[in-house]
Amino acid sequence: MLCEVVAAWADRPGGLLPALREAQLQLGYVPAEAVQVFADGFNISRAEVHGVLSFYHDFRTTPPPPTTIRLCRAEACQAVGAESVARALEAACGTTFGAEDASVVALETVYCFGNCAVGPTAEVNGRLVAQADAERLLSLAEVN
């Protein structure tokens, strides 16, 4: 599968980024063994591939947990309680925002979904949630 993704993008200028994105869409993450495949396919170093993977926060190099809650923590959402939502989520899920070892729920910070008028805004497994509170987010995530 990785070879097909690389082949589809290797001849395009700037093709590495969309190729990595495609691999992540198909696998859920970009596994460590894929770095060499991309490096060979794009005729670049492993370090360059790693640099792209580590620079963009949306790339994962480990399998994702079954549930991801992303919470906007920009100023507009902070003004309407995003930080209290964040603290309640951390307490309920037993993890912290940005923790690499989240096994059941990943909590991720986002700086603006562009939904400022109805904040705090969050996303549960890709589903946008306006006027979010911890109880509602946990319910949508089916976390007890």
Residue 131: give its domain's CATH number: 3.40.30.10
- Angstrom distances, CA of residue 63 to CA of 59, 73, 102, 106: 11, 25, 10, 11
Residue 144: per-residue pLDDT: 60
- 87-130 pLDDT, tens digit per residue, is 999 999 999 998 877 778 999 999 999 999 999 999 999 999 99
Do 73 and 48 share a structural domain? no
Write the CB contacts of 67 (distance below 8 Å, at least 6 apart in sequence).
Answer: 104, 105, 106, 124, 125, 141, 142, 143
Total domain count for the chain?
2
The angle subtended at Cα 113 by Cα 112 and Cα 116, nearest 5°, is 75
Mean pLDDT of 46-67: 90
Residue at token pair 């925002």: 97
Residue 71: per-residue pLDDT: 97
Do 42 and 96 share a structural domain? no
Q: Is residue 61 part of a domain?
A: no
- Please give the model's pTM, rounded to 2 decimal places: 0.72
Distance CA 36, CA 49 (A): 8
Do 29 and 9 share a structural domain? yes
Coil, strand or helix at 23: helix
Do 71 and 46 share a structural domain? no
The residues pairing with 110 across neighbouring beta strands, listed in sequence order, are: 72
Do 41 and 7 share a structural domain? yes
Do 129 and 72 share a structural domain? yes
Residue 101: per-residue pLDDT: 74
Percent of the residues in the chain that have a pLDDT greater than 70, as a whole number: 99
Do 72 and 102 share a structural domain? yes
Structural domain range at position 44: 2-55
Do 134 and 71 share a structural domain? yes
